[in-house]
């Protein structure tokens, strides 16, 4: 396990809160295999209801993009067709909405992260728009991911699940070398299992002591499962 420096981040409203601070001009990718808990984390941290059809702009000026928003938006036009026939349009719209959101303020994006061309495209967009890319990886076991899919009432096919799990194992192993192994130019990477992800109470964007994201010591205290990475550049 590779671990970067940790620092406690004091807060005025709750000194014991567990959270992360990122620079204002950041693209934060919340990644994980289907069922890992990405949408659940976004709902909890940013107040999403889970039925939105467009990008959510929070009171703090954070644009939050969940791939479900694209799916629900297109469902009105294409819902009469089997979803596998128009799944690709959801991915294209999701990426287009992400690109449109990079207009100066912080952006948080739901992205499985297992497709290398998508990671490369997002890294290119960050470079062109002068954004910092930061990554949170929710590391779920295949059984946990299947359980998460059952809980949301929507399963990916067994073949797709195996492909995502296989690529995720490779990505997780590569990420031990640092954030740049996830995507070129990525500035930080934080990998949490599902239990530790539930301990993450807030994510904020604002001035930092430097350009890195900091993990409070209280969150870092529990022992990490082998293969998890906390790395800052």
Residue 226 has pLDDT above 60, yes or no: no
Q: What is the pLDDT of residue 198?
A: 87
Burial class (CB in 10 A: 0-12, 13-18, 19+), 84: exposed
Instruction: Report yes or no on 157 lying in a domain.
Output: yes
Q: What is the pLDDT of residue 157?
A: 66
Q: Averaged over 5-10, what is the pLDDT?
A: 33
At 150-194, the pLDDT tens digits run 666 666 667 776 777 788 888 888 888 889 989 999 999 998 888
Whole-angstrom distance between the N-terminal and C-terminal Cα of the chain?
16
pLDDT band at 221, cuts 50/70/90?
Answer: very low
Instruction: Give the contacts of 64 (CB within 8 A, at least 6 positions apart).
Output: 42, 46, 48, 55, 56, 57, 58, 107, 108
Q: Averaged over 5-19, what is the pLDDT?
A: 41
Q: Which residue has the higher pLDDT, 198 or 62?
A: 62
Instruction: Report yes or no on 12 lying in a domain.
Output: no
Q: Which residues pair with 55 in a beta bridge?
A: none
Q: What is the C-alpha separation between 31 and 137, in angstroms, rounded?
A: 5
Q: What is the C-alpha separation between 196 and 217, in angstroms, rounded?
A: 13
At 88-100, the pLDDT tens digits run 999 999 999 999 9
Instruction: Report yes or no on 174 lying in a domain.
Output: yes
Q: What is the C-alpha separation between 126 and 104, in angstroms, rounded?
A: 11
Q: What is the pLDDT of residue 209?
A: 41
Three-class secondary structure of residue 22 per DSSP: strand
Instruction: Give the contacts of 119 (CB within 8 A, at least 6 positions apart).
Output: 113, 182, 183
CA angle 96, 154, 57 (to 5 degrees): 40
Instruction: Report yes or no on 106 lying in a domain.
Output: yes
Number of domains in the chain: 1
151: alpha, beta or left? (left if phi > 0; alpha if psi -120 to 50)? alpha
Instruction: Report yes or no on 5 lying in a domain.
Output: no
The boundaries of the domain holding residue 43 are: 19-232
At 39-80, the pLDDT tens digits run 889 999 998 888 899 999 999 999 999 999 999 999 999 999
Q: What is the C-alpha separation between 72 and 15, in angstroms, rounded?
A: 38
Q: What is the pLDDT of residue 33?
A: 82
At 14-30, the pLDDT tens digits run 333 578 899 999 999 99
- Global confidence as pTM: 0.79
b/e map of 12-35 (b: 16 or more CB within 10 Å)?
A: eeeeebbbbbbbebbbbbbbbbbb
Q: What is the pLDDT of residue 205?
A: 94
At 106-134, the pLDDT tens digits run 999 999 888 899 999 999 999 999 999 99
Q: Which residue has the higher pLDDT, 148 or 109?
A: 109
What percent of the residues of the chain are helix, what percent strand, and what percent coil, each to the nearest 5?
Answer: 40, 20, 40
Instruction: Report yes or no on 11 lying in a domain.
Output: no
Tokens of 194: 């599902």
Q: Which residue has the higher pLDDT, 173 or 2?
A: 173
> What ranges in the chain are assigned the alpha helix state H?
38-46, 67-78, 83-101, 116-129, 142-152, 158-175, 194-199, 217-220
Q: Averaged over 132-155, what is the pLDDT?
A: 75
Instruction: Report yes or no on 4 lying in a domain.
Output: no
Q: What is the pLDDT of residue 214?
A: 39
CATH number, domain with residue 183 = 3.40.50.300
Instruction: Report yes or no on 150 lying in a domain.
Output: yes
């Amino acid at each position: 396990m590779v671990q970067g420096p940790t620092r406690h981040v004091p807060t005025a409203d709750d000194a014991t809160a567990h959270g992360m601070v990122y620079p204002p001009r950041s693209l934060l990718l919340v990644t994980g295999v289907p069922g890992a808990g990405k949408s659940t984390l976004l709902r909890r941290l940013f107040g999403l209801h889970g039925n939105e059809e467009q990008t959510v702009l929070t009171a703090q000026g954070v644009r939050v993009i969940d791939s479900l928003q694209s799916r629900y938006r297109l469902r009105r036009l294409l819902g009469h067709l089997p979803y596998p026939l128009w799944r690709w349009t959801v991915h294209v719209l999701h990426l287009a909405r992400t690109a449109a959101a990079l207009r100066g303020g912080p952006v948080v994006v739901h992205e499985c992260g297992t497709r290398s061309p998508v990671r490369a495209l997002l890294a290119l967009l960050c470079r062109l728009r002068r954004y910092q890319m930061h990554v949170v990886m929710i590391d779920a076991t295949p059984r946990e991911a299947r359980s998460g899919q059952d809980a949301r009432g929507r399963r990916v096919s067994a073949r797709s699940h195996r492909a995502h799990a296989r690529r995720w194992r490779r990505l997780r192993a590569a990420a031990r070398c640092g954030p740049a192994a996830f995507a070129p130019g990525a500035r930080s990477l934080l990998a949490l299992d599902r239990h530790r992800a539930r301990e993450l109470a807030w994510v904020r964007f604002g001035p930092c002591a430097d350009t890195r994201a900091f993990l409070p010591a209280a969150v870092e205290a529990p022992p990490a499962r082998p293969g998890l990475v906390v790395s800052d550049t």
